[in-house]
């Protein structure tokens, strides 16, 4: 089935994420917009994923728990998981592998942890927009240990992307997909970076504010509308049709 997706959305937990971008608000906005499947991918944390999944269940929208992990090379990788337990376990691992720098709310925002009904449960004390200690090459196998799959985010951006950090898209990076921003020219990247050619192209909003959320335009073909089906599709051993 063809599903409208947005696999890269931030909540109020992310530094520079708007406090209005609560799990409830972003899920219900996506539902009203007509999405079938979204992922919540805060910077270096999965602490709002369970709330977003609960809001998704209530709204009738599949919400995949995820994270936008910043590698030691300052490359953003979108990591997705089949369930909240494994996402949170991965989140705990990452929390122990980022610099112990405290958030400064006046600069980066409150980094709010919420439940599915917009109640603030707490604030993440560690600054989440730092580079973790994991290198990009080890991320796919690490994510797989938690049942997940990952892909390099916004490779056409001039910062925090695999191309900006390494200058190329390595054939050896064990991923099945990559992300371009909405504006990027697919043919250019397919031509210039051969490693992209046998990989699935994804385009997502990367919204940090409700007003940055986009109407659905991208579809992915999955056998069923579940987190597991998505992860199977994004796992390297899956053959692309």
What is the closest distance, in whole angstroms, from the C-beta atom of residue 216 to Zn ion in the complex?
A: 18
What is the closest distance, in whole angstroms, from the C-beta atom of residue 1 to Zn ion in the complex?
A: 27
| CB neighbour burial string for 83-95, b if at least 16 within 10 angstroms, e if fewer | bbebbbebbeebb
C-beta closer to Zn ion: residue 68 or 124: 68
**Which residues sit opposite 79 in a β-bridge?**
67, 150
What is the closest distance, in whole angstroms, from the C-beta atom of residue 158 to Zn ion in the complex?
A: 12
What is the closest distance, in whole angstroms, from the C-beta atom of residue 162 to Zn ion in the complex?
A: 11
Residues that bind Zn ion (CB under 5 A): 68, 76, 153, 160, 206
C-beta closer to Zn ion: residue 31 or 76: 76
Give dist(CA 145, CA 106) in Å, integer.
36
What is the closest distance, in whole angstroms, from the C-beta atom of residue 193 to Zn ion in the complex?
A: 18
C-beta closer to Zn ion: residue 31 or 208: 208
C-beta closer to Zn ion: residue 54 or 206: 206
C-beta closer to Zn ion: residue 47 or 76: 76
Give dist(CA 37, CA 198) in Å, integer.
23
Give dist(CA 74, CA 95) in Å, integer.
16
C-beta closer to Zn ion: residue 40 or 229: 40
Which of 163, 155, 153, 209 shows the shortest CA–CA distance to 186? 155
Q: Say if residues 88 and 118 touch (Cβ distance below 8 Å).
A: no
Q: CB neighbours (10 Å) of residue 167?
A: 8
What is the closest distance, in whole angstroms, from the C-beta atom of residue 68 to Zn ion in the complex?
A: 5
Query: Nearest to Zn ion by Cβ — which residue?
Result: 76
Q: Could you tell me the CA-to-CA distances from 82 to 5, 99, 210 in Å, in that order?
A: 16, 27, 25
Q: What angle do CA 235, 237, 241 make, to 5 degrees?
A: 90
């Amino acid at each position: 089935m063809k599903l409208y997706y947005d696999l890269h959305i931030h909540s109020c937990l992310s530094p520079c994420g708007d406090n209005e971008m609560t799990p409830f608000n972003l899920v219900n906005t996506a539902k009203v917009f007509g999405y079938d499947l979204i992922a919540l991918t805060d910077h270096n944390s999965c602490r709002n994923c369970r709330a977003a999944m609960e809001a998704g269940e209530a709204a009738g929208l599949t919400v995949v728990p995820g994270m936008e992990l910043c590698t030691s090379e300052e490359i953003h990788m979108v990591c997705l998981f089949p369930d909240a337990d494994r996402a949170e376990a991965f989140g705990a691992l990452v929390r122990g592998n980022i610099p112990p720098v405290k958030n400064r709310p006046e600069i980066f925002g409150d980094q709010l942890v919420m439940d599915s009904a917009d109640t603030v449960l707490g604030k993440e004390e560690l600054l989440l927009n730092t580079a973790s200690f994991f290198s990009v090459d080890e991320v796919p196998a690490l994510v797989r240990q938690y049942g997940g799959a990952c892909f390099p985010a916004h490779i056409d951006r001039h910062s925090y992307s695999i191309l900006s950090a390494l200058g190329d898209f390595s054939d050896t990076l064990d991923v099945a997909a990559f992300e371009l921003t909405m504006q990027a020219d697919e043919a250019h990247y397919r031509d210039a970076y051969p490693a992209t050619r046998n990989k699935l192209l994804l385009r997502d909003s990367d919204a940090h504010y409700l007003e940055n959320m986009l109407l659905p335009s991208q579809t992915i073909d999955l056998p069923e509308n579940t987190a597991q089906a998505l992860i199977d599709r994004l796992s390297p051993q899956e053959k692309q049709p």
